Amino acid sequence: MSDHDQEVLPPTPGARVGKFLGRSDVRQTFILGLLYTIVFVVLGRWIYPHWMPRVLSKQMQANEDIMIWFTVISAPIAGVVLAIATKSFMNMHRGDTPPEEGIAIRTNTPVVIVWTATSVLFCIVAIVWGLVALNTESIAAATDAPKSIVVDVTGSQWAWSFYYPAQNIHTHTLNLPVNQPVTFNVTSDDVNHSFWPVQLGVKIDANRLVTTVAHADPTATGPLDVKCAELCGLYHAYMETDGAIQTPADFSSWVSSIQATGGVQE
């Protein structure tokens, strides 16, 4: 810091921070940041969930929780950045002289420590959250495997087909009973696809000569959209089908109706 700065700024760091926070433009930016933060929290916590696909499984619930809470956690950062930008734009046309120089931020050790520690903390929260979620998921998959209904999923340009080995039926819609875990054995007949039953919160590679295994726990009944999530050629965008999470009784009668037509869905 130069001698000139020493003359202009209060001598102690505490006094400098006090002077900085006492400035009206800093206070206004802070209040604006707080308002933006509240808006983002309300959007993330209560509005966005209505725009997301319906939750029909534990996995989709976990996805939704992560989306909501990461939005809430990042709201203050987005709020402060947007507030500084707004305040700068609002002052731009006033012809004011720039505000007097505040405390240096880039070379200010306490500020650097605080923002580094805060960023590290956010990263650790994200990593730990992800690891716990992944681990819970694979433990659940292993525990549930014996009682799972199995579906062999095959992607091909440009359709999905399903085979239920225990029921011995071939289908092009994906119906499943509620409250029973499901194991998907996923592969492809040709190029790389990605199996994405949207409301189940599952998305997994469908590659030729490889079987990838995915797992889901349906928790509610409702319609299901199945899409391809890997660009796979000209009609990739049309590579979708539907299905449903059904009551066990409805699922049984659906299976029976297909078995009655020779085990192949018409």
Q: Which residues bind Cu ion (CB under 5 A)?
A: 193, 228, 232, 239
CB of 54 to Cu ion, least distance (A): 23
Distance in Å, CB of 190 to Cu ion, minimum: 9
Q: Within its chain, how far is the Cα of 187 from the centroid?
A: 25
Shortest Å, Cβ 162 to Cu ion = 15
Output the smallest distance, CB 61 to Cu ion, in A: 26
For Cu ion, give the closer residue by CB, 58 or 193: 193
Provide the minimum distance between the beta carbon of 185 and Cu ion in the complex, in angstroms, as a whole number: 17
Closest CA to 148 of 200, 203, 217, 201: 217
Q: Cα angle vertex 155, ends 152, 161, to 5°? A: 55
Residues 206 and 184 sit within 8 Å (Cβ to Cβ): no
Beta-carbon contacts of 37 under 8 Å, excluding residues fewer than 6 positions away, are: 75, 76, 78, 79, 80
Looking at the Cβ atoms of 29 and 188, the one nearer to Cu ion is: 188
Task: Residue 96: count other Cβ atoms within 10 Å of its Cβ.
Answer: 9
Name the residue among 180, 193, 263, 184 with its Cα closest to residue 227.
193
Closer residue to Cu ion, CB minimum distance, 239 or 244:
239
Joined tokens for residue 158: 């440009």
- Of the pair 151, 255, the CB lying nearest Cu ion is at 151
Name the residue nearer to Cu ion (CB basis): 32 or 153: 153
4 pairs with which residues across the strands? none
Q: What are phi and psi of 166, to 5 degrees?
A: -65, -35
Q: By C-beta, is 153 or 232 nearer to Cu ion?
A: 232
CB 207 to Cu ion: min, Å:
11
- Residue 56 CA to residue 222 CA, distance in Å, equals 7
